[in-house]
Structure 1
Amino acid sequence: MQFDAILIEPRRARMLAEGLWPGKTLLDYFEAALHRAPDALALTSIATATGARRDMSWAEIDRLSWRAAVGLHRLGLGKDDVLACQLSNSWEFVVLYVACRKLGIVFNPVMPIFRERELRFMLRHGEAQAFVVPREFRGFDHEAMAAGLRADLPDLRHVIVAGGTGADSFDALLMDPALDAGVAALGPVSRHDRGDADDVCQLIYTSGTTGEPKGVMHTANTMYSNLVAYADRLHLGAWDVVLMASPMAHQTGFMYGFLMPVMLGARMVLMDSWDRLMAARLIASEAVTFTMASTPFLMDLTNAVEETGADMASLRIFLCAGTAIPGPLVERATRGLGAKILSAWGMTENGAVTVVAPEDPLERSVHSDGFALRGMEVQVRAPDGSPAPPGHEGELYVRGCSNFGGYLKRPDLNATDAGGWFDTGDIARMDAQGYIRICGRSKDVIIRGAENIPVIEVEALLYKHPAVLQVAIVAYPDARLGERACAFIVPREGTAIDFAAMTAFLDGQQLARQYFPERLEIRNALPATASGKIQKFALRNELRAEYEALQG
């Protein structure tokens, strides 16, 4: 694979001169933690459904990652090959990524919710040569799905099944103790192929408005420049215990639940899926000090603590990103958890860009999404392209150290100007002190519990239904998830469609269920401009007015 990360080179000299790119890879940080305390507890991996746990020291992660690296090398995988991984938060995920970095293999985490439609595009576009899946997760047969995809993926040479029992199982291919005999011989290969901090090390897909996912390319420098500033803002260190239940196939889980603890030499506690009562118990039993998740997680945890009286004395910070945090929830959570509730804003392309500081008053987390981290700049632009006055809404642009390397094979979509400013697609306002508030999106995207719904793609699928003449999918407010998706449909004359028929059709199109509209409105016509463009803002306003009326 040739990676066209064209946004790296133009800023390398400046980033290095200003000390913003640390020039270190995951392996540099990992090996430092290993050297300092090889036998220290580094990782606790929890299977939520069964309660099973696996504890690992830095030394054990190192030993197993070398074993897995030998296995990957024997499968013919090496520098700049792409390995796609659909595993949930787990020790296998951690070991696998460390192994990939020892060989310079580019890691492509994909969400466990993704099904054939999303995966067929992502793995083909990214030319994945290996695909690691769970045998089963949350009742779904991933092994069978992966087998069914192989005929459509000419680059895919290997499917590796965690929890499998056959010759293609994770244990047989990557965890066989016999592989240890090959570690010494692999050392020179690893030293040559592991690469440096400017090599693409992560390929992660994000949904947008182009009708297909975009492959975001990151390097160690773009990610760790963010993590250094983030940890500094929040005063995090080796003494912290980080709980992560957000999927590590998202940047939230990957960067702040995995890469950051390795950088700090801190312990990570990973949950493979969210369970509010178990999360409360783990915070108490494992002395968790920090976690990051979207607003629904905060609401759930607060409810669990109020119900059970679980001891939250160790928890210092719960950082929320993805959607605004309602003021009453911030107040409840502060009382119930005894922690600082902080807000932030970021994107897959940049990581966290703005973060409220722990020293800030509570109101900052209610009324803002924080101020820029060191090495990042934010600018709110008026319609004429000039900086908007404080308090005025405009289009949000960012630039700096953690901006991504570009979209794989789609440099035309990079949305970065000659000055290095990236068009986020968000509408925001900024106050005189530099704190921003996200007010909306210029892009046609719905964020459901921090998960982006690819609106155009779902609409395109519904237009294939014989009963659909017109369709518009818009967000409507939800107290827990922030937003949900509503489909407005105008049926063709003489036909009919209801909610059950709509969902059955999308299921037949192999779309992830989390992308299905959760509400259907049938109309004779949709509001439109004189040129025929559907006025989605009018539909959104209608749903918001209905929601506000119900709230009293």
Structure 2
Amino acid sequence: MTKFDLDVHRAQLRQQGHWTDQHYDDFLRRALQDHPDKLAIVSDRAGGAVRLTFRELEDRVARAAGGLRKLGVGRGDVVALQLPNWWEFVVAVLATQRLGATSNPLMPIFRERELRFMLGFARCKVFIVPEGFGTLDLVGTARLLRDDLDHLEHVVVANGAGTDSFDALLDSGERVDLAPEGTPPLTDPGELSMLMYTSGTTGSPKGVQHTVNTMVNAARNMTERGHLSNDDVILVGSPVGHMLGTAAGVFLALYNRATMVLQESWNGRRALDLINEYGVTYSGGATPFLADLVREVQAGAPRPETLRLFLCAGAPIPPVLVRQASEVLGTTVTSVWGMTESLASTMTEPERAGQLSSTSDGRPVSGMQVRIVDDSGKALAPGQRGRLLVRGAQVHIGYMGIPSEETFDADGWMDTGDLAYCLADDDCTDYIRIAGRTKDVIIRGGENIPVVEIENLLVEHPSITTAALVGYPDERLGERACAFVTVENNAAVSLADIREWMDKNKVAKQYWPERIEIIKEIPRTPSGKIQKFILRDLLKP
């Protein structure tokens, strides 16, 4: 049986021009040539904002690279970063990449159990953690793990004060300055440079391996389709420990040599203040981030006059939210489909956002391909739901420790685990719509319930703010559907109310939820994706 050949895959992407072998240092070098004193980073945090020009950013990257090299970091080593949206994250990642090492962003919510697995699995050499962020003792946990894990040699403390602080690291070694233009990077841009764990919507995370080329291709395509430039100011509100914050925030800004505004942790009202203070033109995040901005303005916060574009990813966008963003914020919402393994693979153009962002998740960007197939692998016609396959220039090069043939077929296609269909409109047949996860399918009496459509309809109910539909076992029908909802101002919503709403909207009775659970908050990953496996557990006897 023919197996996927990664080397052939790399060669094809280079030949087709989708992989350009540019490095992050190339973009930083160009920024220094064009506008060294332009504001590169605003790091907004509880202790006060830190502002760095591109000249100052490069100085800190060179010093951090020297400090990391003194700690023994070199090609092939893994540096883990459990940092919030702070300037230290950007500096440390760029310094790690300059040394040919691998960056491994981790979410600050992770505790000892998750960290012991993740740091051990990747055999991290250096672990960078924050002092004074959140309620967890991240520094104490990091030092405990350093003493227990033989490969973890150093802990560096951002915002710390001791000899192991990030500031001390900056002054500890000989600078590693930008190499002359044309100098090959220490690591091939097609090799592993970024390790990111999956976000855990269905359970155990896996180590996703990305390259500089996959990340740069994503930035280039988001830039071209979203019409971004170095005149934009980018708010990074999504956590940098997740791919959305890193790829569609930090690296997107670096690619464009644009100013990035790092928001320490998400708060809708604070985000609006930052947008208005710094003239933010672009931001991105999952639907809860956008919904927060809408609610804050509806409650009286200043309108974000400069915010022209919001890239919404992580889940299909409820149509009502697209309308509200336009009417309340004056912002165009572009829908994007991607995942940790495949970055920003499909995207709606701003010009068609009003028409399509609420009904599709975009069309493939340059260098990306999608297929929708049935369980036998047969391609399906527009309008037919099936398994979503993806391949191309933004797809990861495999899971760490897992043979590639378990992830890719011989032609390089990866099963995303998502269900989708192509729009049947003749003008939009290359646009896709996510219809749920394969693990989220609810089959009631042999009939597949259209989960996403029902969830969107529930959110349209005047008393419901968010909704998640999950299946629970039934002896006669196999499964029934339960709607978990959050409500507006403690409103009373009953199953009878839901049935009346379904009937009013002429939904087939087979699709109606047969149970409702009102909860305070829908469980989500840090990037905003709903964790339905937690909801299913709540339904167990």
Per the shorter chain, which TM-score range? 0.7 to 0.9
Secondary structure, counterpart of 2:304 in structure 1: coil
Secondary structure, counterpart of 2:51 in structure 1: strand
Structure 1 residue 150, shift from structure 2 partner: 2.7
**In 1, Cα distance between the equivalents of 2:35 and 2:6?**
34
Q: Does 1:443 align with 2:439?
A: yes
Structure 1 residue 164, shift from structure 2 partner: 2.1
Distance 1:339 1:547, change over 3 A: farther
**Contact 1:407-1:413 at 8 Å conserved across structures:** no
1:98 maps to which of 94, 97, 101: 94
Structure 1 residue 480, shift from structure 2 partner: 5.2
Secondary structure, counterpart of 1:310 in structure 2: coil
- The one-letter code matched in structure 2 to 1:331 is R
Which residue in the other structure is 2:32 paired with? 34
**In 1, Cα distance between the equivalents of 2:177 and 2:316?**
52
Distance 1:481 1:412, change over 3 A: farther
Distance 1:55 1:401, change over 3 A: same
Which residue in the other structure is 1:506 paired with? none
Describe how 1:92-131 pairs up with structure 2 within 5 A: 92-131=88-127
In structure 1, stretches of 5+ residues that fail to align are 1-5, 446-476, 489-525
Describe how 1:252-263 pairs up with structure 2 within 5 A: 252-263=244-255
Distance 1:315 1:185, change over 3 A: closer
Structure 1 residue 295, shift from structure 2 partner: 0.6
Structure 1 residue 548, shift from structure 2 partner: 7.3
Describe how 1:150-161 pairs up with structure 2 within 5 A: 150-161=146-157
Structure 1 residue 383, shift from structure 2 partner: 3.0
Deviations 1:379-424 (A, max 9, x none): 1102331111110100000111111110011126742111111100
Deviations 1:496-523 (A, max 9, x none): xxxxxxxxxxxxxxxxxxxxxxxxxxxx
Distance 1:406 1:159, change over 3 A: same
**Contact 1:295-1:481 at 8 Å conserved across structures:** no
**In 2, Cα distance between the equivalents of 1:404 and 1:7?**
14
**In 2, Cα distance between the equivalents of 1:201 and 1:255?**
13
Distance 1:243 1:211, change over 3 A: closer
- The one-letter code matched in structure 2 to 1:279 is A
Q: Does 1:337 align with 2:286?
A: no
**Contact 1:46-1:271 at 8 Å conserved across structures:** yes
1:175 maps to which of 148, 154, 170: 170
Which residue in the other structure is 1:463 paired with? none
Deviations 1:286-305 (A, max 9, x none): 11110001111111101112
2:22 maps to which of 19, 24, 33: 24
**In 2, Cα distance between the equivalents of 1:16 and 1:306?**
48
**In 2, Cα distance between the equivalents of 1:150 and 1:371?**
45
Distance 1:186 1:307, change over 3 A: closer
- The one-letter code matched in structure 2 to 1:274 is W
Q: With the length of structure 2 as denominator, give the TM-score of the two structures.
A: 0.80
- The one-letter code matched in structure 2 to 1:38 is P
Which residue in the other structure is 1:549 paired with? 498
Which residue in the other structure is 2:446 paired with? none
Q: Does 1:46 align with 2:41?
A: no
**In 2, Cα distance between the equivalents of 1:284 and 1:240?**
14
**In 2, Cα distance between the equivalents of 1:144 and 1:136?**
12
2:237 maps to which of 237, 242, 245: 245
Deviations 1:84-136 (A, max 9, x none): 00011111101111111121110000011111121111111101011111123
**In 2, Cα distance between the equivalents of 1:225 and 1:399?**
13
Q: Does 1:68 align with 2:64?
A: yes
**Contact 2:197-2:205 at 8 Å conserved across structures:** yes
**Contact 2:43-2:50 at 8 Å conserved across structures:** yes
**Contact 1:299-1:480 at 8 Å conserved across structures:** no
**In 2, Cα distance between the equivalents of 1:547 and 1:374?**
48
1:384 maps to which of 369, 376, 386: 376
Distance 1:413 1:211, change over 3 A: farther
- The one-letter code matched in structure 1 to 2:91 is V
**In 1, Cα distance between the equivalents of 2:483 and 2:158?**
47
- The one-letter code matched in structure 2 to 1:328 is V
Structure 1 residue 444, shift from structure 2 partner: 6.1
Which residue in the other structure is 1:217 paired with? 209
Structure 1 residue 540, shift from structure 2 partner: 4.1
- The one-letter code matched in structure 1 to 2:438 is S
1:407 maps to which of 384, 399, 405: 399
Which residue in the other structure is 1:278 paired with? 270
**Contact 2:40-2:260 at 8 Å conserved across structures:** yes
Secondary structure, counterpart of 2:419 in structure 1: strand
Distance 1:334 1:548, change over 3 A: farther
Distance 1:444 1:335, change over 3 A: closer
Q: Does 1:89 align with 2:85?
A: yes
Which residue in the other structure is 1:231 paired with? 223
- The one-letter code matched in structure 1 to 2:354 is L
Secondary structure, counterpart of 1:136 in structure 2: coil
**In 1, Cα distance between the equivalents of 2:272 and 2:17?**
39
In structure 2, stretches of 5+ residues that fail to align are 442-457, 486-493, 502-541
**Contact 1:296-1:480 at 8 Å conserved across structures:** no
Aligned-residue sequence identity (percent) comes to: 40
Which residue in the other structure is 2:510 paired with? none
**Contact 1:244-1:271 at 8 Å conserved across structures:** yes
Describe how 1:310-321 pairs up with structure 2 within 5 A: 310-321=302-313
- The one-letter code matched in structure 1 to 2:249 is G
Q: How many residues align?
A: 467
Secondary structure, counterpart of 1:377 in structure 2: strand
Deviations 1:250-283 (A, max 9, x none): 1111011111111111111110101111111111
Describe how 1:351-500 pairs up with structure 2 within 5 A: 351-411=343-403, 414-432=406-424, 433-443=429-439, 483=468
Distance 1:186 1:412, change over 3 A: closer
Secondary structure, counterpart of 2:270 in structure 1: helix
**In 2, Cα distance between the equivalents of 1:111 and 1:92?**
15
**Contact 2:158-2:165 at 8 Å conserved across structures:** yes
Which residue in the other structure is 2:12 paired with? 14
347-356 vs 539-548, which moves further:
539-548
**In 2, Cα distance between the equivalents of 1:413 and 1:27?**
33
Describe how 1:504-543 pairs up with structure 2 within 5 A: 527=474, 538=479, 540-541=481-482
- The one-letter code matched in structure 1 to 2:350 is P
Structure 1 residue 547, shift from structure 2 partner: 9.9
1:133 maps to which of 100, 108, 129: 129
Which residue in the other structure is 2:145 paired with? 149
**In 1, Cα distance between the equivalents of 2:336 and 2:196?**
21
Distance 1:8 1:259, change over 3 A: farther
Q: What CA RMSD, in Å, does the superposition of the two structures yield over aligned residues?
A: 2.9
Q: Does 1:162 align with 2:149?
A: no
Secondary structure, counterpart of 1:183 in structure 2: coil
Structure 1 residue 165, shift from structure 2 partner: 2.5
343-352 vs 411-420, which moves further:
411-420
Deviations 1:438-497 (A, max 9, x none): 11111369xxxxxxxxxxxxxxxxxxxxxxxxxxxxxxx8865654999x8xxxxxxxxx
Distance 1:283 1:184, change over 3 A: closer
